[in-house]
């Protein structure tokens, strides 16, 4: 949307996206929600790194689309999914930038999980 501010990552706010070395496994209540050897690590400024997992490596039966959205001036509009097997804890637990800004185009088709809304996010050796 044109009325929202758009910013480009740079020295004052870097965003670096690299392939994750290893396998990323996300679990919730004993179920494997995602398992990927094709994840990306997004490091934004001083924030903790975030694993972006291809949507094709997430169990589609465990995702429920949400109407919730948020805006990031560096990445664009985020759409959300809930994980019904997690109850209230897992509402809007997963986000995706379906139309990311050009600077972060690599995360298109990927999702990320809030660590406190799933049981675990592990990066296992390849």
Per-residue pLDDT reduced to its tens digit, 71-113: 999 999 999 999 999 999 999 999 999 999 999 999 999 999 9
pLDDT value of position 2: 60
List of domains in the chain = 15-124 (2.170.150.40)
| pLDDT given at position 8 | 96
User: What is the number of helices (H) and of strands (E) in the chain?
Assistant: 0, 10
Question: Is 97:108 a contact under the CB 8 Å cutoff?
Answer: yes
| Average of per-residue pLDDT across 56-61 | 98
């Amino acid at each position: 949307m044109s009325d929202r501010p758009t910013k480009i990552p740079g020295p004052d706010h870097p965003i670096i996206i690299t392939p994750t070395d290893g396998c990323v496994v996300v679990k919730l209540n004993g179920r494997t929600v995602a398992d990927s050897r094709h994840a990306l690590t997004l490091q934004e400024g001083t924030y903790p790194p975030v694993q972006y997992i291809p949507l094709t490596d997430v169990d589609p039966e465990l995702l429920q689309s949400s109407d919730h959205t948020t805006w990031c001036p560096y990445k664009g509009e985020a759409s959300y999914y809930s994980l019904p097997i997690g109850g209230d804890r897992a509402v809007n637990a997963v986000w995706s930038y379906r139309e990311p800004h050009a600077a972060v185009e690599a995360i298109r088709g990927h999702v990320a999980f809030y660590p406190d809304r799933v049981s675990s996010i592990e990066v296992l050796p390849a």
